[in-house]
Amino acid sequence: MSKNFRDMLETFDNEFPERDYTIEITCPEFTSVCPKTGQPDFGVLLFEYVPDKVCVELKSLKMYLQQYRSEGIFYEKVTNEILDDFVAVSQPRRATLTARFTPRGGISSVITVEHIAQS
Amino acid sequence: MSKNFRDMLETFDNEFPERDYTIEITCPEFTSVCPKTGQPDFGVLLFEYVPDKVCVELKSLKMYLQQYRSEGIFYEKVTNEILDDFVAVSQPRRATLTARFTPRGGISSVITVEHIAQS
Amino acid sequence: MSKNFRDMLETFDNEFPERDYTIEITCPEFTSVCPKTGQPDFGVLLFEYVPDKVCVELKSLKMYLQQYRSEGIFYEKVTNEILDDFVAVSQPRRATLTARFTPRGGISSVITVEHIAQS
Amino acid sequence: MSKNFRDMLETFDNEFPERDYTIEITCPEFTSVCPKTGQPDFGVLLFEYVPDKVCVELKSLKMYLQQYRSEGIFYEKVTNEILDDFVAVSQPRRATLTARFTPRGGISSVITVEHIAQS
Amino acid sequence: MSKNFRDMLETFDNEFPERDYTIEITCPEFTSVCPKTGQPDFGVLLFEYVPDKVCVELKSLKMYLQQYRSEGIFYEKVTNEILDDFVAVSQPRRATLTARFTPRGGISSVITVEHIAQS
Amino acid sequence: MSKNFRDMLETFDNEFPERDYTIEITCPEFTSVCPKTGQPDFGVLLFEYVPDKVCVELKSLKMYLQQYRSEGIFYEKVTNEILDDFVAVSQPRRATLTARFTPRGGISSVITVEHIAQS
Amino acid sequence: MSKNFRDMLETFDNEFPERDYTIEITCPEFTSVCPKTGQPDFGVLLFEYVPDKVCVELKSLKMYLQQYRSEGIFYEKVTNEILDDFVAVSQPRRATLTARFTPRGGISSVITVEHIAQS
Amino acid sequence: MSKNFRDMLETFDNEFPERDYTIEITCPEFTSVCPKTGQPDFGVLLFEYVPDKVCVELKSLKMYLQQYRSEGIFYEKVTNEILDDFVAVSQPRRATLTARFTPRGGISSVITVEHIAQS
Amino acid sequence: MSKNFRDMLETFDNEFPERDYTIEITCPEFTSVCPKTGQPDFGVLLFEYVPDKVCVELKSLKMYLQQYRSEGIFYEKVTNEILDDFVAVSQPRRATLTARFTPRGGISSVITVEHIAQS
Amino acid sequence: MSKNFRDMLETFDNEFPERDYTIEITCPEFTSVCPKTGQPDFGVLLFEYVPDKVCVELKSLKMYLQQYRSEGIFYEKVTNEILDDFVAVSQPRRATLTARFTPRGGISSVITVEHIAQS
């Protein structure tokens, strides 16, 4: 499933590969669907990564994230899956995804997943 | 006593056990009773943990915490006890519970308890 | 029902009845129970009133509000009922009660009820 | 179109019709679709109303608003339309809807629509 | 009692009596004693006044307020009494005193008293 | 000069002309040039208007405001001129433009201009 | 004394005299000297005015305010005096000066002076 | 002197001595007297400690701190002395006291003192 | 291209070369142009550096940054390029540039680039 | 020059030399003069130090800093010079001075200088 979404992510060449530098991307308008209740979930995604050969193109990231709008998927799964797609496509030196979901039943959740490239 | 509450906590399989990742859960509506004065206490609980084989199910956590609503128990005890239950049920790689209680007599308290799995 | 609670409210003489002045009382630790779901509700109550012959004693107000801790009652009803009790006991020249309830299902509510004495 | 959505709104009897009081409802998770670009729009809706014979039931309001999730509709239209549905169903003495939409192209919008019952 | 304190308040000539203008004075370090419990009370006092012939000298106001440090007195009384002293000494065209007291038993209070000169 | 810019503003039909309602538009990325120093000026523009027959199209407003990027013009003039263009094109029932400029020489300015239609 | 300072204030023609509009100017770096203690005073000045024939030039206002850097003068006097100079030079339709001084002895002051042109 | 105050501090058994955990206590209503000027000082005290055999009882801490209300003592001394008393009575594994005093003469101070048990 | 801009950066002698100290410079009014869409981009630049033989002169930095006002350039490139220019001209011991760009399509970006001198 | 200012700094004995503890002093009302433009500069100074044999007396620090009121001196120089004076007089174990200057030309600066005693 997620594999189809992954194809939407585009990249462009990193012009400064000789230097480790950090790119943070905040996407405050993420929404998916709770597979248990059918109710929409909402969250803010923060990507922080050190690019290697390529950078992730922002507009394609936006379009990619919109694919989850009708997708029934749990918090833990969606966070891990999105980071996996991000890493598979851009092969960064390091990448962290922090997903802050809005409260449900008075309880709010933050999931933080990290990837470090094997050297 | 607490043992009965503990049975209410449910878990589900961690689908990403090969990766260390962090789950934060904020519960701003915790309330128990001061055993000395009989007055209600109020606090915000923050769980931060790295799951191992299972994750804690949020709705069951909410129901579990509501059991303290009529329970006479001190700040230090309730914080340690809840972390113990959380750890017993989910066996996380690491877990921290921070409990911020509202002011009493002009004085406010925060209790922070941490568990690290023996490897 | 409410009538029994009302008896808990105590007053003391207003020493400055010749002057219109305002007393605001904020009670951030109000909690009752949703009669539909059985789940606890939480809110912040703000009383603003102009006393006439008597003022409401704060400790008795606290004890009175704690009676709702196990009471199944809707937002609209509890707000109107508490103002009615407050007015019945203290007969203020004016009184407003604003009740800000925490989010449920992503939606939060504020109820504002006002009483103005007939002259 | 909107007419079908309107049927989802439920009401319950106002137990305190002899008194003018105000109910504010904040729905921070509204989302619809821009009919021009096909991109999702996001906003926070604030209803403020004085009920007459009935109050609007919160869960049905949540379900009603979720119907717009896949609906292509402009800011001005959706705000006016939602207030019209709210008024048609609950016939309030007064009602205001304020819709704060998130920035698009660096520009953010707020639409405020008001209804006052004819006496 | 209060009469003795009042003598500490000093004034200086208002050099601009032909114009109505406003002076706000914020005193965040007010403290007195609760006559019931013997516990200290703390509050922030805000004076807003339109001077007539004289203005209140700030240092004397500070010294005056410090007299309440060991004084057992209720919120309502201390607020009215201080405004009375302020008015008696400076005869302002208008004066308001807002006293915001810190929480006691989870409940905080604000008392607002106003004086308007008879013309 | 401004007249040429004005042609860029587009409108669309107000579908709810029977009702007075308010549209606020915040444009935080306005920039022009100080005619005296040649230095860039920056500001946040807030339009608040009640539409009559037409509403102003947001994308055209963005493009219109970008025309000032290389324009040498003073704060007072640019604010009045933009409101004049906005009014000329959309003929609103009421319109206010508030322009908050960033500090220059440690001093910051806000210009507020209002238009009310003659009836 | 102040008269000399006043000469430093410059104006420029109001190009939009047919319209009442408001200019706010915030000067956060005002400093003078307390004539009693010789200690420096600090404040934030906010001018709000409706220009008539002329507007006040910002740079000259900055230079004018700097003249008070070594001037021994009380809060009430400096606020009234500056507004008087501002009005004398620019003859606005309305003008308000709000001066917020930083705390002295734990007490902070705000002076607000208003001028309305005689018609 | 301080020795007498120290006797007021009470403790209770730490039920979880096998675990290092942290207790933070915030006391925003501390006041003492400046020995030089005779003027009251105000501050916020933050205790952070890891209990060993006993915990400090909150009400006794409040009463202990109130003893300083009429005590002439400098910032540095009072902070060190209170930590010394706290440590003497509760023998914590670690303890830090941070005292934030309100501005005097436009200058504010924070004193931070730490104790680490010898092992 | 950038090379021409670089010549605008001026420096002055560091009078304290024997000591490592840090200079932070915040430039909240950076703007360039997106080479893809032709739309203006806006950002806040934060330079943090430890000077060696020279410091960067602030006014020349301002003029240098203004050269990007009409320059079509991507986020990643402009951030790396500006740091390169900054380093080439001032040869600091360490330098970091953090560029926070405003949201585009609901997504905001921060680029952080660091330089450490080879010893 | 600065040497004369230095003599104004007074110290008192550190009564707790056996313990490393930290004193933070915030001086929000620092002002000097730009030697280039003759315009006043404004900043907030934060001293953080671990005293050894003596502590710096606060009132003398205030008087010392006021000497810069008419002094033409650059940001980097004034920050280093003040720390040097502070260290020369009090010989602390460690000391840091952070000077946050207000924006000039839309650009704001923070200088941080640190001293660590040779052991």
pLDDT digits (tens, 9 = 90+) for D34-82: 999 999 999 999 999 999 999 999 999 999 999 999 999 999 999 999 9
Across residues I17-28, what is the average pLDDT? 97
Chain B residues inside the 8 Å CB shell of E104 = 106
- Catalytic amino acids of H? 34, 41
User: Which backbone phi and psi does A24 adopt, to 5 degrees?
Assistant: -110, 135
Quickly count: other Cβ atoms within 10 Å of residue E42's Cβ: 19
Give which of B22, B42, B23 is closest to B33, Cα–Cα.
B42
Chain H residues inside the 8 Å CB shell of J16 = 76, 80, 113
Per-residue pLDDT in tens (0 to 9) along chain E, 119 residues: 445 799 999 999 999 999 999 999 999 999 999 999 999 999 999 999 999 999 999 999 999 999 999 999 999 999 999 999 999 999 999 999 999 999 998 999 999 999 998 86
Continuous segment of H or E residues that includes residue C62: helix C58-66
Measured between alpha carbons, how far is residue H98 from residues B106, C22, C90, G106, H34 in Å?
A: 17, 37, 44, 21, 18
Give which of C16, C23, C108 is closest to C53, Cα–Cα.
C16
CA dihedral (J73, J75, J76, J82) in degrees, to 10, reads 70
Q: Provide the token pair at B82.
A: 């809840």
* Nearest residue, CB atoms, H21 vs list B103, B107, B111: B111
Q: Which amino acid is at J52?
A: D
pLDDT score of C119 more than 80 = no
CA atoms lying within 13 Å on the CB side of residue E5: 20
Chain H residues inside the 8 Å CB shell of E39 = 66
Chain I residues inside the 8 Å CB shell of F40 = 29, 31, 66, 69
Contact: D23, C113; criterion CB under 8 Å: no
Task: Quote the CA–CA distance of B97 and B45 in Å, as a whole number.
Answer: 7
* Nearest residue, CB atoms, B110 vs list H24, H51, H62: H24
Residue pLDDT, tens place only, J69-92: 999 999 999 999 999 999 999 999
Per-residue pLDDT in tens (0 to 9) along chain A, 119 residues: 445 799 999 999 999 999 999 999 999 999 999 999 999 999 999 999 999 999 999 999 999 999 999 999 999 999 999 999 999 999 999 999 999 999 998 999 999 999 998 86
Q: Provide the token pair at A50.
A: 């050190």
**β strands within A1-119, DSSP E:** 11-13, 21-33, 40-50, 54-56, 94-104, 107-116
pLDDT score of F63 more than 80 = yes
- Catalytic amino acids of D? 34, 41
DSSP state of C72: B
Contact: F106, J106; criterion CB under 8 Å: no
User: Which backbone phi and psi does H83 adopt, to 5 degrees?
Assistant: -65, -40
CA dihedral (H87, H88, H91, H93) in degrees, to 10, reads 30
Q: Provide the token pair at H110.
A: 């924070």
Q: How distant is the Cα of G19 from the closest Cα of chain J, in angstroms?
A: 31
Contact B99, B30 (CB under 8 A): yes
Interface test with B, best of C26, C32, C39 (most B CBs within 10 A): C39
Residue with tokens 């000066």: G97
pLDDT score of C3 more than 70 = no
Give which of J117, J115, J90, J83 is closest to J2, Cα–Cα.
J83
Proportion of chain A above pLDDT 70, given as a percent = 97
Angle at J11 between CA J9 and CA J13, to 5 degrees: 175
User: Which backbone phi and psi does E39 adopt, to 5 degrees?
Assistant: -85, 150
Across residues J94-112, what is the average pLDDT? 96
Task: Quote the CA–CA distance of E32 and E65 in Å, as a whole number.
Answer: 9
Residue F3: band (very low, low, confident or very high) from pLDDT cuts 50, 70, 90: low
Label residues J62-74 b or e (16+ Cβ within 10 Å = b): bbbbbebbeeebb
Q: How distant is the Cα of E4 from the closest Cα of chain H, in angstroms?
A: 20
Residue pLDDT, tens place only, H77-95: 999 999 999 999 999 999 9
Q: If DSSP codes are grouped into helix, strand and coil, which group holds residue D104?
A: strand
Contact J81, J73 (CB under 8 A): yes
Catalytic residue of the set G34, G52, G55, G84: G34
In chain J, the N- to C-terminal Cα span, in Å, equals: 30
The residues near E55 (Cβ < 8 Å, ≥ 6 apart) are: E11, E12, E13, E14, E23, E90, G76
Q: DSSP characters for E13-51? A: E-S-TTS--EEEEEEEEEEEE-TTT--EEEEEEEEEEE-
Q: Provide the token pair at J23.
A: 């004193």
DSSP state of J72: B
Q: Provide the token pair at E81.
A: 């009494």
Across residues B82-102, what is the average pLDDT? 97
Label residues B77-116 b or e (16+ Cβ within 10 Å = b): ebbbbbbbbbbebbebbbbbbbbbbbbbbbbbbbbbbebe
Q: Which amino acid is at J50?
A: V
Catalytic residue of the set J7, J13, J20, J34: J34
**A:I CB pairs within 8 Å:** 52
| Helix, strand, coil percent content, chain A, rounded in steps of 5 | 30, 45, 30
| pLDDT value of residue J2 | 46
Measured between alpha carbons, how far is residue B86 from residues B7, B19, B95, C11, J78 in Å?
A: 10, 20, 9, 46, 55
* Nearest residue, CB atoms, E42 vs list H29, H39, H70: H29
Chain I residues inside the 8 Å CB shell of D42 = 106
Q: How distant is the Cα of I118 from the closest Cα of chain A, in angstroms?
A: 14
Q: Which long-range contacts (CB under 8 A, 24 or more apart) does B1-8 make?
A: B1/B71, B2/B81, B2/B84, B2/B85, B4/B67, B5/B64, B5/B67, B5/B68, B5/B85, B6/B64, B6/B85, B6/B88, B6/B89, B8/B60, B8/B63, B8/B64, B8/B67
Where would I find the H helices in D1-98? 2-6, 58-66, 75-90
Contact D10, A21 (CB under 8 A): no
Residue B105: band (very low, low, confident or very high) from pLDDT cuts 50, 70, 90: confident
- The yes/no answer to whether this complex scores an ipTM above 0.90 is yes
Q: If DSSP codes are grouped into helix, strand and coil, which group holds residue C13?
A: strand
Chain I residues inside the 8 Å CB shell of A22 = 110-112
Interface test with F, best of G11, G19, G21 (most F CBs within 10 A): G21
Chains J and D touch (3+ CB pairs under 8 A): no
The residues near E53 (Cβ < 8 Å, ≥ 6 apart) are: E13, E14, E17, E91
Q: Which amino acid is at E101?
A: F
Task: Quote the CA–CA distance of I118 and J89 in Å, as a whole number.
Answer: 36
pLDDT score of G1 more than 60 = no
Burial of D78 (0-12, 13-18, 19+ CB in 10 A): buried
Contact G76, E55 (CB under 8 A): yes
Chain J residues inside the 8 Å CB shell of G31 = 29, 31, 40
Contact: A40, D69; criterion CB under 8 Å: yes
Q: If DSSP codes are grouped into helix, strand and coil, which group holds residue H60?
A: helix
Contact: A16, I76; criterion CB under 8 Å: yes
pLDDT score of I79 more than 70 = yes
Measured between alpha carbons, how far is residue F64 from residues D118, F75, H26, I72 in Å?
A: 41, 17, 54, 20
Task: Quote the CA–CA distance of A96 and A105 in Å, as a whole number.
Answer: 27
Chain H residues inside the 8 Å CB shell of J19 = 80, 113-114
Task: Quote the CA–CA distance of E57 and E90 in Å, as a whole number.
Answer: 10
Q: How distant is the Cα of F25 from the closest Cα of chain G, in angstroms?
A: 19
Measured between alpha carbons, how far is residue F35 from residues F2, F72, F77, F78 in Å?
A: 15, 4, 11, 11
**Nearest-by-CA chain I residue for J109:** I25
Chains B and C touch (3+ CB pairs under 8 A): yes
| pLDDT value of residue G3 | 52
Q: Provide the token pair at J53.
A: 């044999």
Please confirm, yes or no, whether C55 is among the known catalytic residues. Answer: no
Contact G12, F100 (CB under 8 A): no
| pLDDT value of residue H117 | 87
Residue pLDDT, tens place only, C82-110: 999 999 999 999 999 999 999 998 999 99
Label residues H49-88 b or e (16+ Cβ within 10 Å = b): bbbeebbbbbebbbbbbbebbeeebbbbebbbbbbbbbbe
pLDDT score of F105 more than 90 = no
User: Which backbone phi and psi does B95 adopt, to 5 degrees?
Assistant: -155, 140
Burial of I97 (0-12, 13-18, 19+ CB in 10 A): buried
Residue pLDDT, tens place only, C17-43: 999 999 999 999 999 999 999 999 999
| pLDDT value of residue A101 | 97
The residues near A91 (Cβ < 8 Å, ≥ 6 apart) are: A52, A53, A54, A117
**Nearest-by-CA chain E residue for G103:** E26
- As averages over each run of 10 residues, the pLDDT of chain H (119 residues) reads 79 96 98 95 98 97 96 96 97 98 94 90
Quickly count: other Cβ atoms within 10 Å of residue B58's Cβ: 19
| pLDDT value of residue G90 | 97
pLDDT score of J3 more than 80 = no
* Nearest residue, CB atoms, C102 vs list A42, A102, A106: A106
Chains C and G touch (3+ CB pairs under 8 A): no
Proportion of chain D above pLDDT 70, given as a percent = 97
Task: Quote the CA–CA distance of F113 and G15 in Å, as a whole number.
Answer: 13
Task: Quote the CA–CA distance of D47 and J53 in Å, as a whole number.
Answer: 64
**Nearest-by-CA chain A residue for D63:** A39
Contact B23, A111 (CB under 8 A): yes
Residue pLDDT, tens place only, C44-74: 999 999 999 999 999 999 999 999 999 999 9
